[in-house]
Structure 1
Amino acid sequence: MLTKHDLRYHWRSIKFFSDFGYYPLQMDPKSNRIWIQRNICKRFLHCFHVLTWASYTLMVFYRMGEIFSRKEEHMLMQLACPVACIGLSLMAMTAHTCMFFVRPQFYIHGFNRILDYLRGIGRQCQTTARPRHELFAIFMVHLNVFMPVAHTMSFLCFPEGPNFIYYNVPEEKKTPLVFIACASFEFYIFGLWSVTGAFLLFIGVLNIHMSLEQMNEGIVDTKSISLQGIKGAEAFALIEKQCKNCRELQLAIQEVNRAYSFLVFVARIYFLYECILCSFSGIRMFNDSVGLGISFLIFALNSMIMYVLTFERAFKIPVKMEEYKLSIKESAGVCLGGGFLTSVIFRMVDSIPCVAIKVGSFNSMERASPIIFFHFIVSGVVNLLLAFK
């Protein structure tokens, strides 16, 4: 199980980036609870980061326009890099706006809900096993460091590429100091994007995992009522408690959808086209430059892994909710033996809808989503390779 000790790097990283204005948040060092930043200087610093971020994204757009207008053919196969950067920037900017300006209370409540849940299970269970969602949470910490480093390394290997600033510096002024300054700026900007995306995934995905864990716990607790042979008013009180817990989980999932569905849609589109473009560029460039080809293929593989890790369990939410409701009905039938109390429980359970994780406002996560995703990527890459022989 996840414990607060296992995720200590998350609390420290969130506090660190909040202190430097990357997040408009402040954290209580004792309780680790978060709320919106009230310090005027920190707010100003945060606005400065966001303006710098937006300005850099516009410069990348301008650099892509230069590539097309000047017909820089040697850069066309490498457009996957700036296109992916723009996509990541826009996705992170959308997430940043939703998290901190449109629905900040959901993310603050979601973070504190995670903290309360981890404290509870930390007292109940001590195990050395690491479930997949714990490994994912730990992976997100390392991603905070890896992605800016990887992007900076690509700039060091290919400084004349999509970087607007270094490309437009006159040749006589391209000194090692200017080169280091541009590399540091790349690291800083990509760090802004990655920490925002990591915070989004940490809050949203772990809330989904927590809901699944709580449903599993509810199913076990409900079945134990009938196994223990509890009858009458005591059984009704316990089963009614499980009904209320099921209702609370359904409302929590609806809250996740309200704050998270559009971001899930944006993330899905981003992962999709980044995988296609990076795979295409990596394959086409492999004969000319093995290093660049492998780099693009690694970025494509990273996007595939991120998609699977992020969304692979989301489709289980309605299935697990239906199983939870069925277990409540079975316990009511066994313990209450029919009659008025059983019909009351059945009506309470039937009034709880099985809510799925939404992708935008028009689709839901399905069991076949990863397979459809992989099929679409392979089809897109093959079509591009055939079109640009």
Structure 2
Amino acid sequence: MRGDGRDGARARADGRGGGMNAKVQEDTARRLDRAMGSLGTAAMARMEEQLAWYRALSAEDRSWVGLVAQAGIAAFVEWFGHAGEGRPTPSIEFFGTAPRELKRSVSLQQTVDLVRIVVEVVEAQVDELAAPGGADVLRHAMLRYTRDVAFAAAQVYAREAEARGSWDARLEALIVDALVRGQVDDGLHSWAAALGWTSAPVMVFAGHAPDDDPQSIIDGLRDKGRRVGHELLAGVQGDRLIVIVGGAAGVKDASRSVVPRFGPGPIVIGPEVPDLHAAASSARAAIAGLRAAAGWPDAPRPVLAEDLLAERALDGDEDARAQLVENVYKPLAGTPLLDTLATYLEQGTSLEATARLLFVHPNTVRYRLKKITELTGYQPTEGRSAFTLQVGLILGRLSVM
């Protein structure tokens, strides 16, 4: 007999019961309706007692949470009264009571806490709320209802996360585009603040994008950055991938998380800058270096934009030209070092030939070459450095014509 009673309770909870079962359900529904106010009050009191996050909310948010709890109880009571008609359980209607801002203040885990409290409050009073013989009906109805509410909460937060993710992706694309085009203004700071960007220093990587879906490339970069403690912004522009790295402890640290995500071909790293606002110059150098990288087929991967100054200058990069004039020509202008460098390069880096043409001892030439290295950072006796010095010398001569 008891097994039959349990089966009957389940049938009533699923809306398949009739006769006396329907009468028990109607009586229980009326009792629930009369107890709605006290149930809501008890739920709020228990939340205040057990949930630290609820106590930390503002008064306005606590009020909204209370309304959601009351709406949830009311929705259950209303549904339970019509369950015999085959009415489905509500999905997300009562979550619409809360404003969008509340969903940002209350996490999914906290929403689960809220539902759990409401369920505990109702379950603690099942024997008092249910009509005689209806306790099992009410318990099974609560199980079915709370299961669907849990799925409803997950749906709400999934949609919010998706919308937030789309908005963040749009902001990220705007920031990358603004830095690439050099359009740095107050809007850039607002967009970065909205994404929670706080890292420094910053450097920009430029290379070719792999053949994967652009969004999957960016998501992979972001996940990798999060694991190693870097902040990353990325954008795919045609076949080009631009990655902005913040918070890395140097070029090698940043490269480990970024370089594997690029497609084949050169990867150029712009100079390190103190913050995102200054990253436009790093992006400009990295992109100019990417354009000019074909001029140095044996360049390392990745390569610093600074190491491609000569190729960038020959490709028409005005920043590189100005930097070479400033770093190579001007420190030597008006001194014997300039003639020594020009002669040394013209003589195929021959120490003896240079000494003969300048009528000085070879040791004097050695001394002057050492001074040139100290002043410019480039060593005339090394092939790549000699090439860069040659380009800087020519540009300097052209600049004073």
Q: Same fold (TM over 0.5)?
A: no
Q: Select the structure of larger CA radius of gyration.
A: 2
Superposition TM-score, scaled by structure 1 size:
0.26
- Give the structure with the higher percent helix: 1
Superposition TM-score, scaled by structure 2 size:
0.25
